[in-house]
A and B are shown apart, each in its own frame.
Chain A
């Protein structure tokens, strides 16, 4: 699904991704790594917001280097942001509608898809609320709605569970499971190892722009290098995770 070859990203003197090669395939795949590892940067490359300095990126077998962000949306690749990006002065519904506008979906079909999506992300009741007045979870759901409404092949989420209460987290997980069952592939970045372990078929671990490990979730999470580089910081969590 995701094939990355010798990918390098540089911003001035910083090289957040350095000759990274990586293959991930699965219904739900995870991307983990400590702060500043380059996860968001990689997601930016995949969604077309950042141009790599070198290397190639293939999604579903196609080299997407030449596609602009908007074209990737049309091609079925969508994303949400680490800090939810929702227009304050548009309603939840309008924030989602924007993606349909971009794809020039005919009016009638757009209305049906919008209603379905609002229902699916649990915003039907808050559809007419302005972005400025949405709470954290609704903001996340608005963003996910904006991805979903396009009927994507792949949704990429950047720490969607950060800051959520337990009940909200459960609703998020249910939503993602449902999507995955319906055939949508998901790439998820998160520091919440339980979430990753519970959802993902495959995981990649980044550190300082390098790949530490990748492959089946269980194997990767058991890898001593991974535990040293990343999970070491979360020893207690890890213990709990295994106990669970």
Chain B
């Protein structure tokens, strides 16, 4: 639930263009060989571009990755034609877009989709039509509870829980407040995960759910403080979290609780927006590796963005998710012997071998089954005056709801 604010773009562009490695790394990540010329293989994506926030970042990095693939051998000589549709955060548009991509264009799979509403609208359609979907970033519950959709990320529920687990294990927190927007299968779902884990651990948990349309930060903060909990998890998108932290600063509440957030507050513009007061006092759980980490995939991601993306494309964790989705589907397509059809692609996805990446903690695979949540481990970062620094490496978010997937 990160928001690609222009501010973020600027900060990212300045911050990370320096940390680049030479373009050679880019080509390695996406293949080797002559530019692809054969009959294109169509891959689709549906993103919420126009609307309350721009969620198109993952499709931009996926597009850059596919361009790189096409320039370097393609899928055994055939290029990928990547078709991206905007759902405008509207279920009707999302349903029409899926019909267009799947029925009319004949895409063999979807990769890099990122939408607030698309999973819920189209999950059944994908299942009925045997289309496999690697979502770049899944936010609502529906993205994690469908037979044909597997998101790259952990999801905000596990990210929220991860923040709590870290505070439980390392800071001795024994009671929590979960603050989230009251959107069905979004805020409530996040906080339920915390409560289920808390029940197992004998930890007290409270919810402060609010109408997303009316955000009164001061009253939310006071409500949360009144519960007397050790830690407060602000499970909000960054634009909503910033005024909440500002309100807490106004009451000088920094020392009164442990302040936490899920990946959504891991935004390069966030430290400046909340100010020095909070330096060292906010910890965030992140679903992918840090944006400036120096692993192979993170390095390749940044260099592919520079070579094949636009300067204006965000370099954020959505973008990391899109890169991974494109990379994984490319590997799966390359491994298919015989016809590349939606059936063969879905089969290949369901039986794929798990893939490792420095962007992830564990290996990722699509997996069989009725729901998918392969990515279950993340890292912790602590906010500094001008950025974020890693404070804990990979650990699993032990959500009781995932018992069946882990077994």
Q: Judge A-B direct contact (beta carbons within 8 Å).
A: no
- Listed in ascending order, the chain B residues whose CB lies under 8 Å from chain A are none
- Listed in ascending order, the chain A residues whose CB lies under 8 Å from chain B are none
